[in-house]
């Protein structure tokens, strides 16, 4: 009788935790499901995968299998003997149990499938499998990301046709955008993904949030950045200015002798959340154009009164 390495079947190791084994099993079960896969050996591979999972997901079966595996298959095979095999069959194997290998039956006798995946439809058996999870990206305005709201989206969701092929179906969904979502945030819509097989639940739909560029705000994680134009005299003399934030205008005190590129922080004025972000204001000094003789004269007087070389550090 051929020894079955159930770990190798699922592509895992004996020390692999059960939750990781389950992920590997689900991936392979979907890949080789006979209703979907076009591979010639899909059905036999699918049965082998389910048999491996039936053993490794059950604590008692896995312990028994590991003891046999480390103790040597030949000794274990002898230990069972013909009488043991007869006893197992006398317990009354169901037609479902017969789909498992002789190796499995010699060890465990009858079985019950205990997971969202069962064997492929065979000898009257019914397969159940959760539908596929789908991922889409939705772009929202920065103001909606900050305040939260409801966004209508139109999607083309792949659906499984009776012959096992995928087809696209138009679907309109309302998505609740939580206040303070940031670039790359994901929203899970339960059971809005692909249809399940055999009456199993639909998969989930994961919506990734992308945020539209704003005319004057920029976003870095939960922090907001704003370039604030100021006049030379506001920079030199100081000023109290109204500054826009996503939550409304606030007053900002510009220090005396401020410089272009100087960064000022508005604490807690960034994206909302349990720990809100901040808003950073970057000062940008803008000089007015001298378009009249009087304005030119003022600049000439400033040049005489305040001799200043901003390129001095460049050695010129």
90-132 pLDDT, tens per residue?
233 333 333 577 777 767 654 444 444 444 444 334 455 677 7
pLDDT band at 159 (very low <50, low <70, confident <90, very high): low
Q: Hey, what are 79's tokens?
A: 């230990």
pLDDT band at 240 (very low <50, low <70, confident <90, very high): very high
pLDDT of residue 172: 85
Which 3 state secondary structure label does DSSP give 299? Answer: helix
pTM of the predicted model as reported, rounded to 2 decimal places: 0.55
pLDDT of residue 204: 86
Average pLDDT over every residue of 135-163: 81
Average pLDDT over every residue of 286-315: 90
Q: Hey, what are 313's tokens?
A: 């550090």
Average pLDDT over every residue of 198-215: 86
Instruction: Specify whether the CB–CB gap between 209 and 263 falls below 8 A.
Output: no
CA–CA separation, 71 and 65 (whole Å)? 10
Count the neighbouring beta carbons within 10 Å of the beta carbon of residue 60. Answer: 9
pLDDT of residue 164: 54
Q: What is the mean pLDDT of the chain?
A: 80
Which 3 state secondary structure label does DSSP give 260? Answer: coil
Helices marked H in 167-267 — which ranges? 232-237
> Residue 7 to residues 49, 50, 55, 113: CA-CA distances in angstroms?
10, 12, 10, 18
pLDDT of residue 92: 30
pLDDT band at 33 (very low <50, low <70, confident <90, very high): confident
Q: Is the pLDDT of residue 222 over 70?
A: yes
Q: Which long-range contacts (CB under 8 A, 24 or more apart) does 29-37 make?
A: 29/53, 29/117, 29/129, 30/129, 30/132, 33/120, 33/127, 33/129, 33/197, 34/120, 34/121, 35/120, 35/121, 35/127, 35/164, 35/197, 36/160, 36/164
* Parallel, antiparallel or unpaired: strands 149-160 and 186-189: unpaired
Average pLDDT over every residue of 192-206: 77
Q: Is the pLDDT of residue 51 over 70?
A: yes
Average pLDDT over every residue of 124-147: 78
Q: Is the pLDDT of residue 255 over 80?
A: yes
pLDDT of residue 75: 42
Q: Is the pLDDT of residue 87 over 80?
A: no
Domains of the chain in start order, with CATH, are 6-108 (1.10.287.110), 134-211 (2.60.260.20), 221-305 (2.60.260.20)
């Amino acid at each position: 009788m051929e020894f079955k390495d159930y770990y190798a079947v699922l592509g895992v190791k004996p020390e692999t935790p059960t939750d990781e084994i389950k992920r590997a099993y689900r991936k392979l079960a979907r890949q080789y499901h006979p209703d979907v896969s076009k591979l010639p050996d899909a059905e036999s591979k699918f049965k082998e995968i389910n048999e491996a999972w039936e053993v490794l997901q059950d604590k008692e079966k896995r312990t028994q299998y590991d003891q046999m595996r480390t103790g040597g298959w030949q000794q274990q095979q002898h230990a069972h003997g013909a009488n043991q095999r007869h006893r197992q069959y006398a317990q009354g194997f169901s037609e479902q149990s017969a789909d498992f290998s002789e190796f499995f039956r010699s060890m465990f006798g009858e079985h019950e499938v205990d997971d969202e995946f069962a064997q492929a439809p065979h000898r009257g058996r019914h397969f159940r499998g959760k539908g596929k999870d789908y991922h889409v990206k939705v772009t929202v305005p920065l103001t909606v990301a900050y305040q939260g709201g409801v966004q209508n989206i139109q999607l083309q969701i792949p659906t499984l046709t009776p012959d096992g092929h995928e087809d696209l179906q138009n679907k309109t969904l309302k998505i609740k955008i939580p206040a303070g979502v940031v670039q790359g945030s994901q929203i899970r819509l339960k059971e809005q993904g692909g249809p399940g097989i055999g009456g199993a639940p639909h998969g989930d739909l994961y919506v990734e949030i992308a945020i539209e560029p704003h005319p004057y705000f920029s976003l870095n994680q939960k922090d907001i950045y704003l370039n604030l134009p100021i006049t030379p005299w506001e920079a030199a003399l100081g000023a109290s200015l109204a500054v826009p934030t996503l939550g409304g205008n606030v007053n900002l005190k510009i220090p005396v002798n401020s410089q272009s590129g100087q960064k000022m922080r508005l604490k807690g004025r960034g994206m909302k959340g349990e720990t809100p972000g901040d808003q950073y204001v970057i000062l940008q000094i803008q000089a007015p154009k001298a378009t009249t003789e009087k304005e030119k004269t003022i600049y000439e007087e400033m040049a005489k009164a305040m001799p200043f070389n901003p390129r001095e550090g460049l050695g010129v």
